[in-house]
Structure 1
Amino acid sequence: MAKKQTKKKEPAGVGKHIRTFWKLFAGFIGLIILVFLLASWGAFGSLPDETSLENPEKNLATEIIAVDGKVIGKFYKENRTPVFYEELPDHLVKALIATEDARFYDHAGIDAKGTVRAAVFLGSRGGASTISQQLAKLFFTEQVSRNKLQRGIQKIKEWVIATRLERRYTKEEIIAMYFNEYDFLNQAVGIESAANIYFDKPPRDLNTVESAMLVGMFKNSSLYNPIRNPEGVKNRRNVVLSQMEKYDYITEKVKDSLQALPLNLKYTPQGHVEGLATYFREYARAFMADWVKENPKSNGDSWDIYSDGLKVYTTIDSRMQQYAEEAVDSHIANLQKEFTAQNEKNKTAPFRDISEEEINGIMRSAMKRSDRWRILEDQGKSEKEIIESFKKKTKMSIFSWGGDIDTTMTPMDSIRYYKSFLRASMMSMTPQTGEVRAWVGGINYKHFKYDMVKTGKRQIGSTFKPFVYATAIDQMHMSPCDTLPNTPYTIPEGKYGLLKPWTPKNSSGGGGGMLTLKAALAQSINTVTARLIDRVGPRPVIELVDKMGVESKDIPEAPSIALGTPDVTLFEMVGAYSVFANEGVYVKPTLISRIEDKNGTILYQNVPETKDVINKESAYVTVSLMEGVTQSGSGSRLRHTWRGGDPVYKKIITDYPYGFKNPIAGKTGTTQNNSDGWFMGMVPNLVTGVWVGGEDRATRFSRTAYGQGASMALPIWAIYMKKCYANEELDVSDGRFSRPSNLSIETDCSKWREENTDTDDDDTDEFDF
């Protein structure tokens, strides 16, 4: 009989321990569930509701967009412009997933495997935060706390929010939001700003190695800052590339080749005082400030240009703007060297031919206009205390053409230092549409904020003369081939209210014989211009420029205006000259074409303002006159390689290697004592004006060889136009100006022998007084 098999007894208490374990485990799981429920109910602090999740609040930058589609600036509290997932290159997304969340497509917001691994190894083998959790931290939780308990609560809230995000958004939307939210430093919030600031391109154009660098910054952008820590950033980028190879997004061979590459940053800051078109952007800011006052939202609230994500479409062409800024910088930097050298022995530098008392007056005026004076005055300081503060040395960063310099000097010395720099401005416009393509208000917005395109007014010298000629042509049907004596001419006392007889002289002296109008304008002959304004009278000339957009209320009804005594802005001058190129029609210069909200709804659309000023025939004949300036006058150096010499300094002044062959109409201008140099140049579809001078009229060259418009301003126009013509996409015309079919005024003066034509540096004729 078989033995009865007995059941082996468990050691006493084991079953009880097992039951206790499972109870504890179940309790732990229940506690976790309870904690999550409490967190979701707001027991640990408020969580965003569903509306917030669907429409998270963001500070969206207003974009300033060039006509060629490039974003040239932004107004922002945070420099963020969202992009859609479809705008992200595939390798950028793969770099993120490989580095931050390899199982992103397999979890629902929390990576259980990663969480357990992090808990077991205490984070030594990587963290457990998913992309959804990191997005939750960026979107909805307060600043990360260093207190362990508070940080634990924050972590729980992030888990809850991450799971909500996963329920409400697709994986692609979560990735796009994460890229849009992250702060990449250096005013780059979001991937759109980061791609443009670090590589000067939109996200869709990033290559693999650039994408890897930006993804590497997600670990800690403060530590991995490309500007301050390029070596560390490169090492981190290479880690990202290794992760991409690990998960088979790239091959080992590709990884090795990419890791050997430098960062190749193209740092393009988008700060308010940096980047492209800074002066224009300040104009756009003022335009928007005025616009929002008059155009509220549908609910009555005001638009916020710093956070509502508006899109401001402009007429500026980023390529032409770049060429304009390069032309100003290259010429003025070289001109400044000569200006500084000539001032080394000038005891009153940077001023010339004024008394010490006048200099003190200039300095006192500048001091009282300064920000320092205003701030100290607001603080209740007395005038004596404020003046004393200008005599105390302080640390400051000052401008130089070689880059900013950190130094120590008194504020008063810094005022004089800045007055030693030549300034320049430039504006370029399509005359048929009024669209402004380039706007350079000064040499450096950070240090010289005063805009000399639209705000600053200066005497315009001989650039005013075409208005006198145009009036004579329009009223008296005169031809470029008509002749007038090149002899002294006097307008008597009493006429036009003159207190004494007015007898202008030619800057080069001499005279005699007869000159055609074309030769007289080309050589900027003052005596002929005086005869013309006496024939037509000052009032019709003033009325003409008023119709052309020039503010005329301060222009006196005096014959001396013919030689350029009025103060006019470059903005007005370009608009006025455009009438000639546009067959007699004035089109008000336009800079903002339309404004859209963040959803693309059009809020503003520009309507061009036009006005018939003179007939087509008069406009064309005036253009024909100004073509003579570049054929045989002071602008003829545009036509050939020219080397100008200075008999005093015994050296070559400069080369003019331009060699333009196409029709160009223009006029140089130089004011009293070489204080201002101008050049207005036109081709059929582009009118461009340039001004160069000091902040004060006493800041100037001593000799006309340097201080004339043909030396100071014309080279900037030439450099700019050379660059524009080199870019065929811009379609800048090199053809002839449109000739009216019924032209009755003779413009071909080839049968006339024009004497005393310009050869080299005859721009001395640009003196107007």
Structure 2
Amino acid sequence: MELIKRLLKNKWIKWGFIGFASVLIFFIGLYISIYLGVFGKVPTSTELSSIKQEEATQVLDQDGKLIGKYYIYDRQPLHFEDFPKHLIDALVATEDVRFFEHDGIDNISLMRVFVKSILLRDKSAGGGSTITLQLAKNLYGRNNYRFFSMVINKFRESIIAKRIEAIYSKKEILTMYFNTVPFPDNTYGIESAARKFFNKPAFQLTKDEAATLVGSLKANNYYNPRLNPEKSVNRRNVVLNQMVKYGNMPQDTATFYAKKPLGLDYKSFNHDVGTAPYFRAQVKKELAAILDSIKNPNGERYDLYRDGLIVHTTLDVGMQQFAEEAMKEHLTILQNDFETSYGNSAPWKTNKKLIQRSLKNLPQYKLYKEAGLSDAQIRDSLSVKRDVELFQWKGDTIQRMSVVDSLQHYLKFLNTSMLSIEPKTGAIKAYIGGIDYRYFKYDHVSQSERQVGSTFKPFVYTAAIENGMKPCTYFSLAEVTYSNYDDWTPTNSGGETEDPYVNYNLEMALSNSVNTIAVKVLNEVGISKVLEQAKKLGIKKELPNLPSIALGVAEINLQDLTGAYASYVNSSKPVTPYAITKITDRNGHVIALFKPEVTEPAFNDYTREVMLEIMKSTVNSGTATRLRTAYNLTNEIAGKTGTTQDNKDGWFVGITPNLVTVTWVGNDSQSIGFKTTGLGQGANSALPIFAKFYSKLNSDSNYNFITKSHFENPSSEVVSDLNCEPEKRDGFIKRIFSSKKKERKFKGNKK
């Protein structure tokens, strides 16, 4: 005591002691004020015992394979048993070697940091943070205070860490940590990171892969294995050496893994890329409507981005990948042929009215217009060149372009859509809404309506047969002018080369897609009955009451068209394509369940069997024969090609017993069609996507139930009624008294 009194008489020691005591009292007071919530509420033990973290909604295919996620933070939770031991060893050895010994605060590490970092100024001493402290930061983040921000946050985290340790076991803490820790590329949780960087679940991570991901925690961007592979390898090897140092791995094993390349298999779940982006976008729209009417147990609406819902869909991811490959293979070639056919006369280069009209639809143009700029000023502004990332089939590129240049670049691209469904239910198995979702957001499956061309003709023939017309009814190829419809004269693609004195039966006429006969059949059965038949087939849109409907001038949504064609292999019942089967919450409880819609038959069995036989002929001897000759498909297939006026749209419908597929190809601008019918006809523009898709299915035995399926045998009555000569020629007398082109009135009055 006397010694202390003597020391305090020294003014330097006295003021040093006062300063130290003041600092100590200040930090004690600061700690107490933080504990009491002066700087913001600190979660209580009760709140910590019921931690609920935001989780990504997962979208699964029919077999439970992950195809996409909706999230603010990309996170998928796991249980402790899902973590491989070497993953835990890597984390503990690198981040917190005394994790299983301390109570949330590692005093030995803190002392080391104090001595080395503060007294000795050694920057390599480390931060002294424990896994539990990091978990506290992951769970509750950090606030920005004007003064002492780091100290306040550290004190706050230490309080939370102590409470976490008092409530949870070490296993539970590790589980929460691995489910919340941020990895590179805005990825939260080890499961999401494993799937993103190595395309596998966390439990399948190898020792070097686990070390790579744990190593990235030190600095997410700096050690990002995608962006900085060399730095990531070096950091991975540091983790491996730490595992050797603390007895988790022998040296020779670490040496072996240290020599391996990263082996990334990067799979982004970004909404714009990856498998089936148009499908995922459509599912998201549907979910928004569904969840709007469902409440969680607390009476609140579910949050698509935070509540960790599991969305089970009908999609077959393998089939989807085949479909996307087939589309890309064909469109790459077709786009080149399309551009070559136009040469220097391409409308996206020379048609000033088209370019100007397209410019005025751009958001930038509208903003400038609202700001009061003149057309000339807007044009000048949109002509400024800048670096732009452009889509190209041979690979994306960056070029210096103006908005006008970019517009002309994108005007030239053909777009596409494809839908494959299970005809018995309407379950969607493959879905392509366009050529690349990053650049072409418009979905041609769910949003678009295009003229369907000759794919409407089977509905005309269906109505005719359903109303008593026999398959061996013959109609002349000759052109007819309908005087009560502005002297409208439908023609055939063969034009003058066709013999007007030849008569086809229904099978020959439809399988060869003869326009003149389609209109005559429509005239015979009546427009009203065809429109009624289309409605029974699930075509929701109000169709034009015009004879040209026989040639497919109606604009119909692809989903409706696909659902209608399913009727020919579904007991005459159309279906409504659907994507979602059920939705569960994060705990697996079903919150919504969906089943196929039940519909009534649209026509009788006789009609269905006749139509199916006719559409088989389309593939075997009609407009779709290249499926047999060019693509060598031997499967049982029925189908229908379609081409619209001026070659604006190309269609193909492929029907097999267990799969119905519709493909469409055309330009987004309906002012731009194919240069020639040979290039733009459905058999050339749309059919090859189906052909390549089906060839890929044939190569995979998993799809034998589709590719090796057989149509039902037609009844003896149908076989008998189809047993007639495909064509007849007018006799000599009839040819003398008939003209090449006739004039008649279409049944019913023009409206």
Q: TM-score, normalised by structure 1?
A: 0.85
Q: Which residue of 1 aligns with 2:437?
A: 445
Partner SS state of residue 721, structure 1 = helix
Q: Distance in 2 between matches of 1:259 and 1:392?
A: 50
> How many angstroms does 1:45 deviate by?
4.5
Deviations 1:540-589 (A, max 9, x none): 22222222222331x22222211221111221211111111212012211
Q: Which residue of 2 aligns with 1:48?
A: 43
Do 1:60 and 1:306's aligned partners in 2 also have CA atoms closer than 8 Å?
Answer: yes
Q: Relative to structure 1, is the Cα distance of residues 735 and 395 closer, same or farther in structure 2, using a 3 angstrom cutoff?
A: closer
Do 2:342 and 2:675's aligned partners in 1 also have CA atoms closer than 8 Å?
Answer: no
Superposition pairs of residues 477-496 of structure 1, within 5 angstroms: 478-479=470-471, 482=472, 484-490=474-480, 492-494=482-484
Q: Relative to structure 1, is the Cα distance of residues 548 and 389 closer, same or farther in structure 2, using a 3 angstrom cutoff?
A: farther
Q: Distance in 1 between matches of 2:164 and 2:62?
A: 38
> How many angstroms does 1:434 deviate by?
0.8
Q: Would you say 1:317 and 2:307 are equivalent positions?
A: no
> How many angstroms does 1:176 deviate by?
1.9
Q: Which residue of 1 aligns with 2:574?
A: 586
Deviations 1:161-195 (A, max 9, x none): 11211111122221122122222232322222222
Q: Which residue of 2 aligns with 1:257?
A: 256
Do 1:138 and 1:182's aligned partners in 2 also have CA atoms closer than 8 Å?
Answer: yes
Q: Relative to structure 1, is the Cα distance of residues 70 and 380 closer, same or farther in structure 2, using a 3 angstrom cutoff?
A: farther
Do 2:348 and 2:354's aligned partners in 1 also have CA atoms closer than 8 Å?
Answer: no
Deviations 1:220-250 (A, max 9, x none): 1021112221110111112122222333333
- When structure 1 is superposed on structure 2, of 529-538 and 573-582 the one drifting more is 529-538
Deviations 1:120-168 (A, max 9, x none): 3326344422111111122224158897x43233222222211211111
Q: Which residue of 2 aligns with 1:142?
A: 142
Q: Would you say 1:600 and 2:588 are equivalent positions?
A: yes
Q: Distance in 2 between matches of 1:141 and 1:13?
A: 48
1:534 to 523, 527, 539: 523
Q: Would you say 1:664 and 2:637 are equivalent positions?
A: yes
Deviations 1:293-325 (A, max 9, x none): 333446554433222322222212222222211
Do 2:338 and 2:675's aligned partners in 1 also have CA atoms closer than 8 Å?
Answer: no
- When structure 1 is superposed on structure 2, of 448-457 and 248-257 the one drifting more is 248-257
Q: Would you say 1:370 and 2:362 are equivalent positions?
A: yes
Q: Distance in 2 between matches of 1:741 and 1:503?
A: 33
> How many angstroms does 1:89 deviate by?
2.6
Q: Which residue of 2 aligns with 1:461?
A: 453
Q: Which residue of 2 aligns with 1:654?
A: none
Do 1:280 and 1:441's aligned partners in 2 also have CA atoms closer than 8 Å?
Answer: yes
- When structure 1 is superposed on structure 2, of 199-208 and 731-740 the one drifting more is 731-740
Q: Distance in 2 between matches of 1:38 and 1:531?
A: 90
Partner SS state of residue 610, structure 1 = coil
2:347 to 322, 346, 349: 349
Q: Which residue of 1 aligns with 2:267?
A: 268
Partner SS state of residue 436, structure 2 = coil
Q: Would you say 1:507 and 2:494 are equivalent positions?
A: yes
> How many angstroms does 1:715 deviate by?
1.2
Superposition pairs of residues 692-703 of structure 1, within 5 angstroms: 692-703=665-676
Q: Which residue of 2 aligns with 1:400?
A: 392
Q: Which residue of 2 aligns with 1:571?
A: 559
> Any unmatched runs of 5+ in structure 2?
8-12, 118-122, 730-751
Q: Which residue of 2 aligns with 1:86?
A: 81
Q: Which amino acid aligns with 2:152?
A: I
Q: Which amino acid aligns with 1:370?
A: L
Deviations 1:60-101 (A, max 9, x none): 222222222122222222222322222323322222122212
Q: Distance in 2 between matches of 1:676 and 1:95?
A: 58
Q: Distance in 2 between matches of 1:205 and 1:244?
A: 19
- When structure 1 is superposed on structure 2, of 677-686 and 85-94 the one drifting more is 85-94
Q: Which residue of 2 aligns with 1:689?
A: 662
> Any unmatched runs of 5+ in structure 1?
1-11, 643-657, 757-769
> How many angstroms does 1:335 deviate by?
1.4
Q: Which residue of 2 aligns with 1:7?
A: none
Q: Distance in 1 between matches of 2:698 and 2:60?
A: 23
> How many angstroms does 1:473 deviate by?
2.1
Q: Which amino acid aligns with 1:294?
A: S
> How many angstroms does 1:400 deviate by?
1.5
Q: Distance in 1 between matches of 2:5 and 2:380?
A: 90
Do 1:675 and 1:701's aligned partners in 2 also have CA atoms closer than 8 Å?
Answer: yes
Partner SS state of residue 457, structure 2 = helix
Q: Which residue of 1 aligns with 2:736?
A: none
Q: Distance in 1 between matches of 2:132 and 2:36?
A: 20
> How many angstroms does 1:486 deviate by?
4.3
Q: Which residue of 2 aligns with 1:290?
A: 289
Partner SS state of residue 104, structure 1 = coil
Do 2:132 and 2:173's aligned partners in 1 also have CA atoms closer than 8 Å?
Answer: yes
**RMSD over equivalenced CA pairs, Å:** 3.2
> How many angstroms does 1:731 deviate by?
4.7
- When structure 1 is superposed on structure 2, of 416-425 and 729-738 the one drifting more is 729-738
Q: Relative to structure 1, is the Cα distance of residues 300 and 683 closer, same or farther in structure 2, using a 3 angstrom cutoff?
A: same
Q: Which residue of 1 aligns with 2:509?
A: 520
Partner SS state of residue 69, structure 2 = strand
Do 2:502 and 2:727's aligned partners in 1 also have CA atoms closer than 8 Å?
Answer: no
Aligned residues: 712
Q: Which residue of 1 aligns with 2:57?
A: 62
Q: Would you say 1:414 and 2:413 are equivalent positions?
A: no
Q: Relative to structure 1, is the Cα distance of residues 373 and 78 closer, same or farther in structure 2, using a 3 angstrom cutoff?
A: farther
Do 2:113 and 2:127's aligned partners in 1 also have CA atoms closer than 8 Å?
Answer: yes
Q: Distance in 1 between matches of 2:302 and 2:657?
A: 40
Superposition pairs of residues 722-741 of structure 1, within 5 angstroms: 722-735=695-708, 737-739=710-712
Superposition pairs of residues 174-189 of structure 1, within 5 angstroms: 174-189=173-188
Q: Which residue of 1 aligns with 2:328?
A: 329
Do 1:336 and 1:421's aligned partners in 2 also have CA atoms closer than 8 Å?
Answer: yes
Do 1:393 and 1:410's aligned partners in 2 also have CA atoms closer than 8 Å?
Answer: yes
Q: Distance in 2 between matches of 1:62 and 1:377?
A: 40
> How many angstroms does 1:43 deviate by?
5.2
Deviations 1:486-527 (A, max 9, x none): 430426423xxx232534334353134343432322222223
Q: Distance in 2 between matches of 1:559 and 1:44?
A: 77
- When structure 1 is superposed on structure 2, of 155-164 and 382-391 the one drifting more is 382-391
> How many angstroms does 1:381 deviate by?
5.5
Partner SS state of residue 746, structure 1 = helix
Do 1:343 and 1:350's aligned partners in 2 also have CA atoms closer than 8 Å?
Answer: no
Q: Would you say 1:105 and 2:105 are equivalent positions?
A: no
Q: Distance in 1 between matches of 2:189 and 2:176?
A: 9
> How many angstroms does 1:755 deviate by?
10
Q: TM-score, normalised by structure 2?
A: 0.87
Q: Which residue of 1 aligns with 2:738?
A: none
Do 2:477 and 2:502's aligned partners in 1 also have CA atoms closer than 8 Å?
Answer: yes
1:709 to 672, 675, 682: 682
Q: Which residue of 2 aligns with 1:552?
A: 541
Q: Which residue of 2 aligns with 1:130?
A: 130
Q: Relative to structure 1, is the Cα distance of residues 755 and 256 closer, same or farther in structure 2, using a 3 angstrom cutoff?
A: farther
Partner SS state of residue 443, structure 1 = coil
Do 1:62 and 1:305's aligned partners in 2 also have CA atoms closer than 8 Å?
Answer: yes
Deviations 1:707-766 (A, max 9, x none): 22111111111121222233333454234554378663227967757799xxxxxxxxxx
Do 1:95 and 1:244's aligned partners in 2 also have CA atoms closer than 8 Å?
Answer: yes
Partner SS state of residue 417, structure 1 = helix
Q: Relative to structure 1, is the Cα distance of residues 548 and 88 closer, same or farther in structure 2, using a 3 angstrom cutoff?
A: farther
Q: Relative to structure 1, is the Cα distance of residues 753 and 525 closer, same or farther in structure 2, using a 3 angstrom cutoff?
A: closer
Q: Distance in 2 between matches of 1:178 and 1:755?
A: 80
Q: Which residue of 2 aligns with 1:193?
A: 192
Q: Which residue of 1 aligns with 2:616?
A: 627
Deviations 1:224-281 (A, max 9, x none): 1122211101111121222223333333332222222211212222222222222122
